[in-house]
Amino acid sequence: MSHDENFKDAASVRHLLIAFVVLFGMPLLPMLMGWYTFLQ
């Protein structure tokens, strides 16, 4: 049972990290796409 709880905690932490990456990445996405097209 504790293994299942640890798995849930790890999944929630992973979802939090994904949410942070999305929040910080969305404003940077147009700039990254601009660099990508500029380098091509």
Number of domains comprising the chain: 1
Q: Which two tokens stand for residue 10?
A: 């790890």
Structural domain that includes position 14:
1-40
Q: What is the pLDDT of residue 30?
A: 87
Residue 27: what pLDDT? 86
| Residue 17 pLDDT | 93
Question: How far is the C-alpha of 16 from the C-alpha of 20, rounded, in Å?
Answer: 6
pLDDT of residue 1: 54
Amino acid in position 25 = G
User: Per residue in 1-40, pLDDT tens?
Assistant: 556 677 778 889 999 999 998 898 888 888 888 888 888 8
The whole-number pLDDT of residue 3 equals 66
Our separate counts of H helices and E strands in the chain read: 1, 0
